[in-house]
Amino acid sequence: MIIGVGIDVAEIERFAASIARTPGMLQRLFVEGELLLPSGERRGDASLAARFAAKEALAKALGAPGGLLWTDAEVYVEGSGQPRLRVRGSVAARAAELGVRQWHVSLSHDAGVASAVVIAEG
């Protein structure tokens, strides 16, 4: 059963400008695994914007309640290339409240826009 669906878009250039203006924003939005590539380099702006869009979409799929922490949701990629969500804390509590058992996530970026869709399944 589908419990919620969320979609979000982020303009990559605008997202990058926000990060440049407020460097501490990266630590408020992302956990280390989201920020860094396996090589140790920081992910590109398009990749981070897509992850941010996924977190916004996740909140929408949960009914956009207040009190969710950005770092309580982590977007990671399996070896197959499939993006996944790992939730904990405030996000996991809300998901449990709603009966979410599984997440589906899709990320994309093209033409200066990053997008994400999240489906919460019970």
Amino acid 56: pLDDT: 96
Quick check: helix, strand or coil at residue 53? helix
Domain that holds residue 66: 2-121
pLDDT tens track for 98-112: 999 999 999 999 999
Neighbours of 93 (CB within 10 A): 14
Amino acid 65: pLDDT: 80
Q: Output the pTM of the full model.
A: 0.93
Confidence class for position 79, pLDDT limits 50, 70, 90: confident
CATH of the domain at 115: 3.90.470.20
Amino acid 38: pLDDT: 85
Interstrand relation of 113-121 and 2-11 (parallel, antiparallel or unpaired): antiparallel
Asked whether the predicted pLDDT for residue 67 surpasses 90, the reply is no
Asked whether the predicted pLDDT for residue 13 surpasses 90, the reply is yes
Domain count, the chain: 1
Asked whether the predicted pLDDT for residue 49 surpasses 90, the reply is yes
Find the DSSP H helices in the chain. 12-21, 25-29, 32-35, 45-61, 89-98
pLDDT tens track for 16-39: 999 999 989 999 999 999 998 888
